[in-house]
Amino acid sequence: MREIKNIVIVGGGTAGWLTAGVIAARHQARRAQGFTVTLVESPSVPIIGVGEGTWPTLRTTLRKIGVSETEFFRQCDAAFKQGARFNRWTTGTADDGYYHPLMLPQGFAQTNLVPHWLADEDQQSFCDAVTPQGRICDAGLAPKTIATAEYDGIANYAYHLDAGKFSSFLQRHCCDTLGVRHVLADVTNVQLSESGDIDRLETAQGTSIAGDLFVDCTGFAALLIGEALGVGFRACDDVLFCDTALAMQVPYADPKDPIASHTISTAQSAGWIWDIGLPTRRGVGHVFSSSHTSVDDAERALRDYVGPAARDLSVRRLAIRSGHRETFWKRNCVAVGLAAGFLEPLEASAIVLIELSAKIIAEQMPACREVMDTVARRYNDTTSYRWGRIIDFLKLHYALTKRTDTDFWRDNQRAETIPDRLRALMALWEYHAPWLHDEFDRVEEVFPSASYQYVLYGMGHRTRIPPGTFEADAEQAARLRRENKIYTDRLLQGLPRHRSLIDRIVHHGLQPI
């Protein structure tokens, strides 16, 4: 039996170091028996370092690998994220906007509030009717107080962060605390064994690195999974049209300016602009389809959005290749991060896919080579399903639009650009409101049915539910709506300003667990 105990990760950045941390933390007890995690990183290839949005799952991941949330805020220029606000996605008018918050609707496990909200003459926004989080974001408040323990929240939250600082932070933790071996070297050759497995890596610095399981975190280059093992790429640019991003870092006019505690996504003529607030700056970028607008026009739209502050700022241009690998784990190599694929960052899915991949690898680490192919097959099934559902969910934002002002928005509504599964669900949602496990019943779901509710009804969809269908729980629904209003008022009175809490965390720290 060939025991799997030497894990080699090729590539740093968020993908490499987060994967290293998750695997090393999970298998700390095996270090005495010779279990090793080695990360090989090129000293000359910079990380892309643009993505700054995360999911609430990162709180669990950081806690499991032993990171202090206080130190994370201090060293990663981090802020709280409580969801996303989508502006001008439905009609394109100035007052067009809705939230996709991170809190579930009030009493979500008990009652589907959608039918009762649809029947309400008041027509308060769906988000405000079922959760406090949109109001919290509108008020510029944080999701917890300084007295709340690390990783606990009064309202659910994720993070915005500086990707470059985050990678360096993870590197220090992995090497100093978790025992990850860091090798600075340029991989020049991937040596395969007679069986077709990767046997070892040869580097320009003259070192040879052998391993039992290799994790490809080499980004778009995909040196192992793509070049060495020949796994193809499955594009989805016929569904998601955006293929270019322009990014800039925008300083605050005043260092004490408020920090938005949500991502702001503002639709444009051929794409959308993200706006992410960090304590020291904003990260702003334009994601667009080069088939529908020029780079010059896209940059002009970005600078117009930022305003006078953009006059002397440089813009970084990034190519987006929407899609993913045909196979994610082949033989003794598994791709994570950009080596596995990439989709436009509309719902900040990049880092969560790294987390989910690393979690499976760590928890289902093959005991020996003889069972690795079985683990790989299960991993590929789960990961393929997840990528498909993320593509569906991103496309939903475009498919629901009522905008017809440009070819970009008209093309996004064409039936042949909408995946079959999503098109079937959209037909179902004409008469049936999504809830709990009605259509999303697999452990591999990345977006719960609540997320579909927030987008559907935030964008003005009206499910035609037969009258009287939900009269049996009308009283309970009314009670939940009242409770949500009381809870909202209490949080608006009790939560601190977002920047104020971050300043207090940096200077005084949160209560450790």
Task: Write b or e for each residue in 6-16: b if 16 or more Cβ atoms lie within 10 A of its Cβ, otherwise e.
Answer: bbbbbbbbbbb
- Could you write out the three-class secondary structure of 177-225? CCCCEEEECCEEEEEECCCCCEEEEEECCCCEEECCEEEECCHHHCHHH
Is residue 81 among the annotated active site residues? yes
Segments of 97-168 assigned E as strands: 97-101, 158-160
Residue 388: name the closest of 333, 330, 446 by CA: 446
Angstrom distance (rounded) from CA 133 to CA 106: 11
State which H helix or E strand residue 126 sits in.
Answer: helix 126-130
Residue with tokens 């599964």: 421
Asked whether the beta carbons of 48 and 13 are under 8 A apart, the reply is yes
Distances (CA, A) of 77 to 148, 201, 251, 258, 429: 20, 35, 13, 15, 41
Residue with tokens 């991941």: 61
Angstrom distance (rounded) from CA 201 to CA 214: 10
Angstrom distance (rounded) from CA 46 to CA 317: 15
Q: Which residues pair with 58 in a beta bridge?
A: none
CA angle at residue 58 from 53 to 62, to 5 degrees? Answer: 130
Catalytic residue among 81, 330, 359, 395: 81
Active site positions, annotated? 81
